[in-house]
Amino acid sequence: MKEIMLGNKAFARGLYEAGAEVVSSYPGTPSTEITEEAAKYDDIYCEWAPNEKVAMETAFGACLAGKRSFCGMKHVGLNVAADPLFTISYTGVNAGMIICVADDPAMHSSQNEQDSRHYAIAAKVPMLEPADSSEALGFTKLAYELSEKYDTPVIIKMCTRIAHSQSIVDTEARVVPDVKPYEKNIAKYVMMPGNAIKRHPIVEQRTLDLIKYAEETPLNRIEEGKDNSIGIITSSTCYQYTKEALGDKYPVLKLGMVNPLPVEKIKSFAGSVEKVIVIEELDPVIENHCKTIGIEVTGKELFSIMGEFSQSVVAKALGEPEKEGCTAIDKLPVRPPVMCAGCPHRGLFYTLSKNKLNVLGDIGCYTLGAVAPLSAVDMTLCMGASISSLHGFNKALGKESENKTVCVIGDSTFMHSGMTSLANIAYNQSNSTVIILDNSITGMTGHQQNPTTGYNIKGDPAGKIDLEALCHAMGFNRVAVVDPYDLAETERVIKEELAADEASVIISRRPCALLKYVKHKPSLHVDTDKCKSCRACMRIGCPAISFKNNKAHVDNTLCVGCGVCQQLCKFDALLDKEGE
């Protein structure tokens, strides 16, 4: 059946059709929807794991037990899961195992734009790279066959434009292969030095076998062109941009398997054209491979090592005419992302900003606490780094920083990799104040459940980790809970915990305003006679409040009546429906 399908949904369809039975992932843009869509099939067991390392090890366990498994993550998630990856490469698999890594060139929703192909090379595992939804579906099915045939995990690399683009796919029925019975095999699966040293040559031989496969597979195909003065080697979205810009002008070698890369196929393609141009986003991986095997190519001399490309980027680099659009209107104000109206993080960040505290941040919606006018966050690095960095900061400066420095970390991020950092504070005893922003959901990636919410990926009741009990069990005597909508109480507690001469955890608890079960109050409105234009309400950076005719104005399409702005107005000009 023909359907128009998001790349990530097509990937999930591929998992379903190929008979995948166990899926474990941690959400991360742009990979999240693969697992969300897979969870809609009752035949596949799906879960959100606390982090990517746990997810990959869970998927490994499932494939060891004999069932096809999957784990998905964003590019930076693979940093977290790199440890098991490098050794699963040695053990190989029993039933097939697929890992998806979704890169984010141009950093639409990421803290860096690392190129995940380096991981496939370093871990010596094959990597496929689909160029649209149809390939995402087909490559996933093929990847299980490769995984089982070559006894290796297979990585499928997505990127934002493939993951989050819909295109047309043909769907088929699900076929579940027989369970591969688990057999104890100490030499294959126990990676102590004596065994691992015997597995390494098997890995090297596997790469040689896969290179042979890369020479023959239709995944790497040559498309004829009219003009042989140039030949283009490309993959993924860059293939689409190339075809869009140039049609069938030049021959194209389209690579669907980006590790290991073929040698003879590239040499023969290069021999059929006068000049070879490599078009690839981010790092010159294909380009360097060509140079290593003695093929002269042009790549990063013409194309940037940063950001995303497009058809016009390709057209321009190859000397094609540029298109002209309508004239721009100058000096339009930018519209950066902001915390939503009613976001529980706002009241907390306002309090931190007001007290001029150093705030070490983490990954999530609350990274937006760094944006003006709150400008509350000093640092954001990676998942969990807020707590560990705070510990280091306070160890470095001692009393100088302890009473004016905090860290903020979301509930999901805390479960992901904040717990071990908190253990370091408990163990090595810095006088740190950790704030857990518990909005009862994984927010930024679009509302996924996590171990603190009490629900699983399907929304059914599940185990629920009690944050207060966890902190107490680690040895924290001071664990406070505040409602960030209550500014006075929030400020009182933060000051008290900063002043305390031992480490403390503050849980700022209020569910995300976008959660369906959260009931909103009616929009507030402004009594323009009472409004003295002092702009105090503007300090919280709420997108629902603006100034019209020199008076505060509340946008009733956005306001959810959280009441934080009312607490800042000394003139009682912000009123609810009852006029209070």
Partner 1 sequence: MNNTTNVMIVGVGGQGSLLASKLLGHVVMTKGYDAKVSEVHGMSQRGGSVVTYVRFGDKVYSPVIDKGEADYIISFEVLEAARYLPFLKKDGKIIVNSQEIDPMPVITGAAEYPENLLDKMAELGVEVSAMDALALANEAGSQKAANIALMGRFSKFFEDITEEEWLKSIEACVPPKFLELNKKAFYLGRNS
Q: How far is it, in rounded angstroms, from Cα 528 to Cα 569?
A: 13
User: What is the length of the chain?
Assistant: 580
Could you tell me which stretch among 1-9, 61-69, 392-400, 429-437 binds partner 1 (CB under 8 A)?
A: 1-9
Residue 555 interacting with partner 1 (CB under 8 A):
yes
R_g over Cα of the chain? 27
Residue 444 interacting with partner 1 (CB under 8 A):
yes
What separation, in Å, do the N-terminal and C-terminal C-alpha atoms of the chain show?
Answer: 58
Q: State in angstroms the smallest separation of the CB of 162 from partner 1.
A: 8
Residue 164 interacting with partner 1 (CB under 8 A):
yes
Size of the site for partner 1 (CB under 8 A): 65
Query: Of the candidates 65, 371, 462, 518, which one interacts with partner 1 according to CB under 8 A?
Result: 371
Q: State in angstroms the smallest separation of the CB of 131 from partner 1.
A: 9
Which residues neighbour 3 within 8 Å (Cβ) at sequence distance 6 or greater? 168, 169, 171
Residue 4 interacting with partner 1 (CB under 8 A):
yes
Residue 460 interacting with partner 1 (CB under 8 A):
no
Q: Assign residue 247 a region (left: φ > 0; alpha: ψ between -120 and 50; beta: otherwise).
A: left
Q: State in angstroms the smallest separation of the CB of 116 from partner 1.
A: 17
Q: How far is it, in rounded angstroms, from Cα 566 to Cα 573?
A: 8
Could you tell me which stretch among 55-63, 367-375, 484-492, 497-505 binds partner 1 (CB under 8 A)?
A: 367-375
Coil, strand or helix at 467: helix
Residue 61 interacting with partner 1 (CB under 8 A):
no
CA angle, 105 then 109 then 112, to 5°? 55
Q: Is the peptide bond before 260 cis (omega within 30 degrees of 0)?
A: yes
Residue 32 interacting with partner 1 (CB under 8 A):
yes
Which residues neighbour 368 within 8 Å (Cβ) at sequence distance 6 or greater? 337, 338, 339, 345
Residue 541 interacting with partner 1 (CB under 8 A):
yes
Coil, strand or helix at 564: coil
Residue 29 interacting with partner 1 (CB under 8 A):
yes
Residue 108 interacting with partner 1 (CB under 8 A):
yes
Q: How far is it, in rounded angstroms, from Cα 176 to Cα 67?
A: 9
Residue 428 interacting with partner 1 (CB under 8 A):
no
Identity of the residue, 434 or 574, whose beta carbon is nearer to partner 1 in the bound complex:
574
Could you tell me which stretch among 138-146, 397-405, 500-508, 534-542 binds partner 1 (CB under 8 A)?
A: 534-542
Q: State in angstroms the smallest separation of the CB of 323 from partner 1.
A: 3
Identity of the residue, 192 or 332, whose beta carbon is nearer to partner 1 in the bound complex:
332
Could you tell me which stretch among 76-84, 240-248, 412-420, 477-485 binds partner 1 (CB under 8 A)?
A: 240-248
| Contact string 299-338 vs partner 1 (x = CB under 8 A) | -----------xxx---------xxxxxxxx-xxxxxxxx
394, 377, 351, 342: which is closest to 493 by C-alpha?
351
Residue 549 interacting with partner 1 (CB under 8 A):
no
CA angle, 159 then 54 then 106, to 5°? 20
Residue 366 interacting with partner 1 (CB under 8 A):
no
Q: Is the peptide bond before 181 cis (omega within 30 degrees of 0)?
A: no
Dig out the tokens for 291 from the structure: 């140079």
What phi and psi values does residue 68 have, to the nearest 5 degrees?
A: -60, 135
Query: Of the candidates 446, 469, 477, 577, which one interacts with partner 1 according to CB under 8 A?
Result: 446
Residue 571 interacting with partner 1 (CB under 8 A):
no
Q: How far is it, in rounded angstroms, from Cα 102 to Cα 75?
A: 5
Dig out the tokens for 498 from the structure: 């900063």
Residue 508 interacting with partner 1 (CB under 8 A):
no
How far is CA 432 from its chain centroid? 28
Binding site for partner 1 (CB under 8 A): 2-4, 6, 29-30, 32-33, 108-109, 132, 161-162, 164-168, 237, 240-241, 243-244, 247, 310-312, 322-329, 331-340, 365, 367-368, 371-373, 444-446, 535, 538, 541-543, 545-547, 555, 557-558
